[in-house]
Structure 1
Amino acid sequence: MIVVTGAAGFIGSGLVARLNLEGYNDIVLVDDFSRADKNKNFEGKTYSEMVDRETFHTWLQENHAQVEFVFHLGARTNTAEFDKAIFDKLNLGYSQMIWNACVEYGLPVVYASSAATYGMGEHGYSDDHAIIPQLKPLNPYGDSKNDFDKWALVQPKQPFFWAGLKFFNVYGPNEFHKSRMASVIFHSYNQIKASGKMKLFRSHNPKFSDGGQMRDFVYVKDLCDVMFFLMLHRKDSGIYNMGTGKARTFLDLTKATFKAMDVAEDIGFVDTPADIRDKYQYFTEADMSKLRSIGYAEPFTSLEEGVADYVKNYLIPGKYW
């Protein structure tokens, strides 16, 4: 059995699809399955069991001998949520429970960290373990992810293989349910479809032009390829960046979306909301050298190729991966 927590969500359901493509069908889906808007993410996929996240610890106690690998992708990911107690429970505490169980039962685990741990990028974007204690995230979500990374690194008992992946700006199919937290490509598509136009945040930093803010946008299919590689690799434990290593502008992203939709460009700008303006990241770019150093050699999908696949094969026809 392969366990995937967060299996009804964006990245988790994509990983299930990727595992199915490779012939892995004995998959245990773990999530809060009460949200009907996420059900389509796992419809049509092959799996052996669904386990509610609240009873997963008991399930694992009873079934760990049949488990081969754990992907812990479930988390509260709302960067606009400021109730620290929610993150302490669902991100930090729940992850610690899974880690300790994997140690006890001898299970390998890959878990989701986040590029939100890098804050304003004042320490750069290297996944060197020595830098992690110095990082200053900008919100409780980022704090919770960094708190777990720091905790994991100092544990005297660790799973025989583990990897934490710092997800950068992930986009792709199965994010219909994410509302405000969905990717800019998802919002661009819907705005262009509704009005024929797209409005981006104006730059409030003299070093960047309007729309020239840059992010490391990574296609969810690439991320799933990396996780599949790590499941087979099972050595070189540690924390790894999960981006492309190449920052692109929001203008690049928006132009690619217009092109994929075959709509003439009409791009305007609005002020960045005041509540996020002081904590707005103008540049992120993953240093991918560590992942490359352990043997991952596959190329990452270009922004233009990823947007075209996402828009033409998923958003326009309304399909799920």
Structure 2
Amino acid sequence: MQKTDKIYVAGHRGMVGSAVLRKLTEEGFSNLVVRTSSELDLRKQEEVHSFISREKPKAVIIAAAKVGGILANDSYPYAFLHDNLIIEDNLIHASHENDVEKLIFLGSSCIYPKYADQPLKEDSVLTGPLEPTNQWYAIAKIAGVKLCEALRKEHGRDYVSLMPTNLYGPGDNFDLKTSHVLPAMIRKFHDAAEQGHEPVTLWGSGQPMREFLYVDDVADAVLFTLRNKMSDHLYNVGTGKDITILKLAQKIQKITGHKGEIIWDTGKPDGTPRKLMDVSKIEADGWVYKTELDDGIEKTYRWFKQNRERIREVRFG
């Protein structure tokens, strides 16, 4: 991949897409193509095919998706299944039909079965039932992985799927109704600290374990994949280290300066007990993460405070 090659980044205004765009720009890639949702509706097949045919990118990076936490996934199952299915199918099929040389599809660790052996290996996809609260999103992402695998097998396409662990960082969604656990905690602890260190109520028992990856690191993995001929179609992207939700809350409480009580609402669901990624395959190909959790949370919290008045809040329905 040359720095003058045309690269289309789908979903460039989201947390992941903006990090990818930022990384490619920093690395000197000068022919980057983006479109807002008002300029190109990725749910409309004819628009997507016309756009890819006209622009003829050499590479397509799919960071566009409808995303959210447990509550959003559970509340809007059809939107999460339908929109994600149609977005990825339109982009992958249009790329194939127009001979796009390289495609990188970004998914999620939620594609793995709820009780899959830990750490999660790439070959455990479809070996057991999914976590019920986010199965709709997971099924859509599995379909995207299989589309890329099928095109690679049947047509020899250099299409690769990267499955990041839980991501966080600048550009995240901090809306308490639709956000993931880490940005939601930052918002809750920050607001509670500003309101006299009121108690903070968090869902579940605090015992589930999660792995977190700073978003600039997944952008670095995308760059690595662009520059290299990968040996397989599916790779986990993460740190290979996890932490309990309770300990995560304590870290964020300390970083935000909140001094009040933490209340665990055990009547709310925990979600999957553990989600630790086996990242040995991508490490064997030559990529490793860079940002440690404490440093990443501090960077994210600084960004949150600097952008508090204009942070992205996503609502569904």
How high is the TM-score relative to the length of structure 1? 0.80
Match of 2:51 in 1: 59
Sequence identity (%): 21
State the number of aligned residues: 288
What do residues 155-214 of structure 1 show as CA deviations (whole Å, max 9, x unaligned)? 4434632211122211111124655332323222222222224322332xxxxxxx2321
Structure 2: give runs of 5+ residues left out of the alignment: 1-5, 312-317
Tell me if 1:243 matches 2:238.
yes
Inter-partner Cα distance in structure 1 for 2:159 and 2:53: 19
**Unpaired segments of 5 or more residues in structure 1?**
34-49, 204-210
Counterpart for residue 316 of structure 1: 305
In structure 1, how many angstroms separate the alpha carbons of the residues matched to 2:226 and 2:255?
33
Q: Helix, strand or coil: the match of 1:134? A: coil
2:112 aligned with 1:121: no
Q: 1:215 aligns with which of 210, 218, 236?
A: 210
| Candidates 25, 28, 32, aligned match of 1:23 | 28
1:1-321 residue pairs with structure 2 within 5 A? 1-33=6-38, 51-53=40-42, 54=44, 55-64=47-56, 67-78=57-68, 79-84=73-78, 86-87=79-80, 89-104=82-97, 105-129=99-123, 131-137=124-130, 138=132, 139-155=135-151, 156-158=153-155, 160-176=157-173, 179-195=176-192, 196=197, 197-203=199-205, 211-264=206-259, 266-273=261-268, 277=269, 280-296=271-287, 298-312=288-302, 314-318=303-307
**Rounded Cα–Cα distance in structure 1 between residues aligned with 2:176 and 2:202:** 17
Q: Is the 8 A contact 1:28 1:51 kept in 2?
A: no
Alpha-carbon distance in 2 for matches of 1:316, 1:88: 33
Distance in 2, Cα, partners of 1:220 & 1:272: 31
- TM-score of the pair, normalised by structure 2: 0.81
Secondary structure, counterpart of 2:186 in structure 1? helix
C-alpha change, 1:199 and 1:148, in structure 2 (3 Å) is same
Aligned counterparts of 1:272 and 1:293: Cα–Cα separation in 2: 42
2:148–2:159 contact (8 Å) kept in structure 1? no
> Are the counterparts in 2 of residues 161 and 236 from structure 1 also a CA contact under 8 Å?
no
CA contact (8 A) 1:108 1:159 kept: no
Corresponding residue number in structure 2 for 1:38: none
CA contact 1:163–1:238 (8 Å) conserved in 2: yes
